[in-house]
Amino acid sequence: MNLIAELAGEDSDTKSRTFVFEEGGHTFGNALRCIISRYPEVMLCGYTIPHPSEASMHFRIQTTGPRAVDVLKQGIEDLEKLCDHTMTVFQDEMAQFKAAN
């Protein structure tokens, strides 16, 4: 997943941005949207896939204070932590299951 562009909002305010990801799909977009939309400083968070034949995803963030790019970075870090935790719990449960059988 590569960030290929950062599009400014209607004004030069850094609190409103659209980020374009290469190879971005619904799995990544919806998971990241779920994480970021829960932040109290986020007014709007959403994503679109412009066309099924395009390999890109547009991810929009609008905040009440912090820079949108900082919120995006935090969201990606939090999503990574959540995925790591999920993998750890899954692997522990699989080990217990295999030990019991």
Q: Please, what sign has the CA dihedral across residues 39, 54, 80, 30?
A: positive
**Each residue's pLDDT tens digit, 68-84:** 999 999 999 999 999 99
Domain count, the chain: 1
Domain that holds residue 60: 2-100
- Name the percent of the chain lying above pLDDT 90: 68
Global model pTM greater than 0.85: no
Which residues lie across from 56 on neighbouring strands? 22
The CATH number assigned to the domain holding 34 equals 3.30.1360.10
More confident of the two residues 71 and 51? 71
- Cα Rg of the chain (Å, integer): 17
Q: List Cβ neighbours of 32 (8 Å cut-off, separation of 6 or more).
A: 47, 59, 75, 76, 79
